[in-house]
Amino acid sequence: MAELKPTILVVNDDGITAPGIKVLLEEMQKIGHVIVVAPDGPQSGMGHAITIGKPLRLDKIDLYEGVEMYKCSGTPVDCVKLAVDKIFKGRKPDLCVSGINHGLNYSINVLYSGTMSAAVEGAIEDIPSIGFSLDDFSHHADFSHCRSYILGIAKQVMQNGLPKGTLLNVNFPHIDTGIKGVKICRQATANWVEEFDHRIDPNNREYFWMTGKFQWNDRGEDTDVFAINNGYVSVVPTQFDMTAHHAIPELNSWSFDV
């Protein structure tokens, strides 16, 4: 009797035609049966948004030979939710991988990222989940140096599992000289300092265009930002429980008597 292959859900936020998702599904085909559910267009920066109040469409498409693929009109999180409910029909895939994102999702970016939110949704569904991102926004980004690490990390997760409520946030540096290795990191403390350019459109109506700078004052050598800046793959174990557990004892010392 032939051994059943594990099923792997592949999602992203750059859209179903993005080069990064093609690389990811090709690597996952080496270890399992792949089903792709991805947005029908770019959904970067959507965070954990879901679609409410308007229809969601899910259409099967033939984009790559031999791959079961669906395009979704909604967000990356919608893709995971629809996949579990309508494609897997409640039967959970053995692994959920998201990406490969065109652009880093380290530090505070994890909160805004559609790529990581899709992986978070997988973890909420109790599916071992990984988000992959590369430090290159180009549509023609070279993902070749990511391939072996993607495969190795996915194999480790499938072999060892992940702690409940935990997923992996994996970021790759943009380098031509070779990756130095993998570092298990913490999320760096950093933030974006936004600026909004005031502009006028051809109809003489004002609008604003967001720009900004990444402000990183956390110089710890155990962070994801440090790892990427020094040529390593950063792997951050990430959780969706946002409780500040260390603050509970202090808050319990306050008086809330009215």
Higher pLDDT, 166 or 112: 166
Would residue 209 count as lying in a domain?
Answer: no
Question: How does residue 211 score in pLDDT terms, banded at 50, 70 and 90?
Answer: confident
pLDDT digits (tens, 9 = 90+) for 44-64: 888 898 999 999 999 999 999
Question: Hey, what are 16's tokens?
Answer: 């179903």
pLDDT digits (tens, 9 = 90+) for 2-34: 458 999 999 999 999 999 999 999 999 999 999
What's the pLDDT score for residue 192?
A: 76
| Residue 131: φ, ψ to 5° | -110, 130
Give the domain range for residue 96.
Answer: 7-188+221-241
Would residue 200 count as lying in a domain?
Answer: no
Would residue 208 count as lying in a domain?
Answer: no
Q: Is the pLDDT of residue 219 over 90?
A: no
Would residue 212 count as lying in a domain?
Answer: no
Q: What is the CATH number of the domain that holds 109?
A: 3.40.1210.10
What's the pLDDT score for residue 221?
A: 93
- Omega before residue 21 within 30° of 0, cis: no
Give the span between the Cα atoms of 146 and 142, in whole angstroms: 9
What's the pLDDT score for residue 1?
A: 42
Would residue 234 count as lying in a domain?
Answer: yes
Asked whether the beta carbons of 239 and 168 are under 8 A apart, the reply is no
Question: How does residue 42 score in pLDDT terms, banded at 50, 70 and 90?
Answer: confident
CA of 164: how far to CAs of 68, 75, 172, 173, in Å?
Answer: 29, 25, 25, 28
Task: Please count the structural domains in the chain.
Answer: 1
Q: Mean of the per-residue pLDDT values for the chain?
A: 92
Would residue 97 count as lying in a domain?
Answer: yes
Give the span between the Cα atoms of 158 and 160, in whole angstroms: 6
Question: Residue 12: CA atoms inside 13 Å, Cβ hemisphere, count?
Answer: 28
Asked whether the beta carbons of 37 and 140 are under 8 A apart, the reply is no
